[in-house]
Structure 1
């Protein structure tokens, strides 16, 4: 797909050439900047090693703590603790990491607004926190200041400006109609995102993508933020669809598979969905039951059901995680790629000449509309032998390798939704008059606006810090911290936006009602909030405590 008109030809060429090789800021070699590490008294609550019933401790499946994770508080004491204490410890770590990331950003840039945000983040310890720093943040934002590009390099600024312009022209004007009608994503939005190179951010240039010699996950997050600010589903989640399959192909695919699928994914000619969850198994990935049975001719017959498969109707390629062996748990899972025709609408059926059928039915959802999220049923659905990616029985690991990136992208999607909510609320409260003056001139409203800004930018800086660690091959636990924190903050920020809009915020005519219902899904997918807190972050805190006691 070519460059899109109106976005600036020169900017587009720069984006294509540089999107995979951009860099921003310094790196934290020993972990996220430390904050106030307040610690509930927690003890060990489960056996050590990978969680073979689902999510591995650091998202990789190798049982090691993520590179760069650091716990600055007293050692966590061993023993047996309840899940509530572990959950609280994980949230204390997430808030501390966010405050630390904001503080490092403010120190590095010396910016007045960044400093006020960092001060507010350090004081934000509960849903209803208030601090004098919030009013300072609100004052600067209402005066027209923006912190979106504070500390960013020139190429990241150009990237954000280009994508913001595209979202404002192509996505935002149509987002509410698609949401209210639960309609399909327009083809020109898909081709436009492809033309910007966003489907190919993780695909090397040799396969038609925009990834150069070194990764730049901050660039990926900027792209995700700006698309999600236009619409979580139509923009932010659309561009992230290929990520899990791309990483599986690059890690374990044959050269033939890479050349068959990656160029089409990068160009947007091949759209992607991922089918993992099942009616009885969500985060418990290792317990999946949908089965692929090998046949004498080398093909596979797939039988079973999948649930919550986003974009399955429109997709040409469905990454499918199936049980292929007799072993229970993670060792019996394999990854396949099912090729199918793209279909619009809420229902589809695909019968193949070699036998079998795949049926899909879209599940009505509160928000996150446009992509459509499907229940899939496979009945003797035949796949060729070449559909298997990697070795038989290695599917669990291929799936888990992409979780850190997926969680970073979810944090960025949350930031994008918050960005849109804050933008609209600043504009509305500046002109809407209550009791003889604009809403934004009332003390409580200003404090709420400032708190929204603090939570938005603390989430962004936490995800950026984790992204830089991920560039170096680490950041597994930090990605989970960013996802946990940003997803919850998006719920708080969009709620405050709706509240400040008053009755208009509850009406579907305003976009803030969509932001509110869209934000709710963020804490559920890509690792449910409770799973991340208990099985990823909590266990890593415990390991950090063990390491400190051994010194």
Structure 2
């Protein structure tokens, strides 16, 4: 069955409803912008007072954009399963957005009637029943089983398709057989994975060819990064899918602010995976508040002495090169303008703790933080005591002092897109595992897959995965064209929470076996939980990036 074989009013109704919902959403954005502004500009105090509304607004924006994209992604000859899943997600998204907009309306004194009219519209009721009612969910679940998990399709060119095939094979044949042991025994990612990944060029995906990587010299290649990250994450988030993030953040920071000599020296090494990299941003007292970081660098002859603590520095033991966000301006009132980036060289360590003492007496020590998941790379607490860094290792050297915040943000955008891709890979693995188990496991004399509730669960999981995956690729294309900065945070927000939901349901379908460490979905479940925390916690993204961007855009529009 193709899209043209389905009742045409279903697809038309979905698009029409989204078209009617968008201006209602925009009106609430405009009203909240006014409530948060003083003299036409956003006010920090008012923004804080409206945090709950801003958080809801960001989530409504994510759901609405993903639903709109899901409908745009439907080609005229789309498969039955693609149409079914798109309609299911539209129903779920609109069902989530409407009450959020109602709450915003109550808070802001906006009229409820337009929202209530949409919620009571006969076509909305018809779409809920025909597109996502019990029978529709069961039909979608059966179509999903026939599709063998091949959903959320995106059109890729030949190089991307070849890369996807190659890395999916590598993930299945090399990564997956080692993933359970790495997780259960809390091992460091072994050379048996790192060396073939070096040979496949994964550490140079964001580095231009002229500096030894595989990215084009004249533009970014976000889609290639998304393809590779998704494929590797399907086998293991911590042992493969996350290895690319740290070199990307550092290489983008170097490309944004490094001197030509620094680029020529470091980028080919990073592309070759020697040294491996780690990023030290977070501090015990500041978390995502980058502007408040206190880790100190003090001038000394020929360089800087670093003193202070960093935390949640992933892969810091194995890494030979750390990018450390450092306050080089002693005036704390300088905020983010007082930050610089230091490249700290150290020996590589495989264990859960290390100490490195420089000939000058500077000391760097680290201890891995025990975590429920995301094992293999290990996140470290770090302590620096008068650790010497030469001037040549300040990104941008003298000209880069005070610009570390901007160089860091240049790298973080790619990290957020990678995290969305990681979430997609984890969801795909969880969905395929749940489908396989539901087909094999018999309960009360019949396979789990025969029961309507199981089919409904699988259909909703698949709809969410497909919508997130398609949005990630769509935003990746926009980023490669120079736009989509806010949307990168938005897709990260949605995909990471969705990974939690999908892996939770996959584990539930497995029943008691899902809670056993020997079952892959237990690892997928605990790994997924970290996605909404790192590379920008969902609260920070929702409040400081997405909502703020929406509100600023509304004020600019009103001023025209």
TM-score, length-scaled by structure 1: 0.85
Match of 2:323 among 319, 322, 325: 319
Q: Give CA deviations for 1:432-473 in whole Å, capped at 9, x if unaligned.
A: 011211111100110100111111111111111111111122
Match of 1:233 among 234, 238, 246: 238
Give the superposition deviation at 1:80.
8.7
Aligned to 1:23: none
Aligned to 2:108: none
> Is 1:199 aligned with 2:203?
yes
> Is 1:440 aligned with 2:449?
yes
> Is 1:287 aligned with 2:255?
no
Match of 2:251 among 246, 252, 256: 246
Aligned to 2:172: 168
Work out the CA distance in 2 between the residues paired with 1:367 and 1:111.
37
After superposition, the Cα gap between the structure-2 partners of 1:399 and 1:266, relative to the gap in structure 1 and judged at 3 Å, is same
Work out the CA distance in 1 between the residues paired with 2:238 and 2:190.
12
Work out the CA distance in 2 between the residues paired with 1:82 and 1:339.
44
What is the alpha-carbon root mean square deviation over aligned residues? 2.4
Give the superposition deviation at 1:148.
5.0
Could you tell me which runs of 5 or more consecutive residues in structure 2 were left unpaired when the two chains were aligned: 1-17, 97-127
Contact 2:36 2:43 in 1 (8 A): no
Aligned to 1:277: 282
Match of 1:83 among 51, 54, 61: 51
Q: Give CA deviations for 1:474-504 in whole Å, capped at 9, x if unaligned.
A: 1111001100100110010000001100000
Contact 1:362 1:373 in 2 (8 A): yes
> Is 1:138 aligned with 2:138?
no
Work out the CA distance in 1 between the residues paired with 2:376 and 2:394.
30
Give the superposition deviation at 1:423.
0.9
Tell me the SS of whatever aligns to 2:536.
coil
> Is 1:369 aligned with 2:375?
yes
After superposition, the Cα gap between the structure-2 partners of 1:464 and 1:550, relative to the gap in structure 1 and judged at 3 Å, is same
Match of 2:32 among 23, 42, 45: 42
For residues 318-357 of structure 1, what are the structure 2 equivalents within 5 Å? Answer: 318-328=322-332, 329-357=335-363
Work out the CA distance in 2 between the residues paired with 1:513 and 1:51.
44
Give the superposition deviation at 1:548.
3.7
Q: Give CA deviations for 1:289-312 in whole Å, capped at 9, x if unaligned.
A: 1111111x2211000000000000
Contact 2:42 2:552 in 1 (8 A): no
For residues 107-506 of structure 1, what are the structure 2 equivalents within 5 Å? Answer: 107=75, 110-125=78-93, 131-132=132-133, 133-145=136-148, 146-213=150-217, 214-295=219-300, 297-328=301-332, 329-390=335-396, 391-506=400-515
Contact 2:506 2:521 in 1 (8 A): yes
Work out the CA distance in 1 between the residues paired with 2:71 and 2:138.
18
Work out the CA distance in 1 between the residues paired with 2:189 and 2:457.
34
Give the superposition deviation at 1:275.
0.2
Contact 2:490 2:546 in 1 (8 A): yes
Q: Give CA deviations for 1:95-125 in whole Å, capped at 9, x if unaligned.
A: 0111111111113763332222211111113
Give the superposition deviation at 1:545.
2.2
Work out the CA distance in 1 between the residues paired with 2:155 and 2:273.
32
Work out the CA distance in 2 between the residues paired with 1:425 and 1:299.
55
Count of aligned pairs between the two proteins: 494
Q: Which has the higher helix share?
A: 2
Could you tell me which runs of 5 or more consecutive residues in structure 1 were left unpaired when the two chains were aligned: 1-32, 54-77
Q: Which has the higher contact order (CA 8 A, sep 6+)?
A: 1
Greater C-alpha Rg: 2
Tell me the SS of whatever aligns to 2:279.
strand
Contact 2:486 2:546 in 1 (8 A): yes
Work out the CA distance in 1 between the residues paired with 2:530 and 2:538.
11
